[in-house]
Every structure is written in C-alpha cells, then in structure tokens.
Amino acid sequence: MNMRLPVVPTASQAAPFIHPVVSDAMAPTYRAGQHSVICLPVEAYVCEGIYLVDGELYRCERAGNYVEVWRDNPAWTKYRIHIDLFNDSPLALVVADITVRNSIGQDIMRAAA
C-alpha cells in the first residue's frame, strides 16, 4: 500500500479558516445555519474526508485515478472526477466542525467568514 503524506500548506498559503455551511446538501452531517467548518487549504487530495471544493462541501474518497465525490444528503448523486481535475480545483480539507447554538452564534459565524 502506498501511503501519501498530507500536503502541508506553505507559508504563502492561507491559514485554516472558518466556512459557514450555507445549504443542507451535507445534511444530516451539517445543516445550514447550524454548523460551520474549519478548513485547511491543501494543494491536492490528501485523504478520505470532507473537502471544500470550489466553495462547496463534498465527501471525497480516492478510487484509482479518480476521486468519488458525493453529498451526505441522499438527494445528491455520487460521481467520479479524475484526480488531476480534482487537484486543479481550489481545495480545503475540513478538519473540524462548529455547532452554532443560537442566533447570536449564527451572527458571529457569518461575520467571521
């Protein structure tokens, strides 16, 4: 098995950032207005997990020369993207999530994003 080490951002790249969940495409895992995620910018696919790809959240898993991409909401279909096309997209790996407890927290999260 060939293990790939995570791509560590360089000093010129952005630091981890907060991204608000703006749709229910990842429900029930994340819901709009109730969650935000902390994302780490990466240069390429690192490991199985949830990625922010072009501003949208997707669950991703490597499958040979492709990455299988899907949403947790069953209304969305799973599909495959060639690894090169995936890696050419602006990417960030979700490393933590934040549950917003009330409307004050929602306002703070919106302001932080």
Domains of the chain with bracketed CATH: 17-112 (2.10.109.10)
- Output the pTM of the full model: 0.79
Find, among 55, 89, 49, the residue nearest to 70 by Cα: 49
pLDDT of residue 5: 46
Q: Which residues contact 24 (CB under 8 A, 6 or more apart)?
A: 31, 32, 73
Residue 2 has pLDDT above 50, yes or no: no
Tell me what the pLDDT averaged over the chain comes to: 85
Q: Measured between alpha carbons, how far is 76 from 104 in angstroms, rounded to an integer?
A: 31
- In this structure, are residues 52 and 91 in contact, taking their beta carbons and an 8 Å threshold? yes
pLDDT band at 100 (very low <50, low <70, confident <90, very high): confident
Q: How confident is the model at residue 112 (pLDDT cuts 50, 70, 90)?
A: low
Q: pLDDT grade, residue 12 (50/70/90)?
A: very low
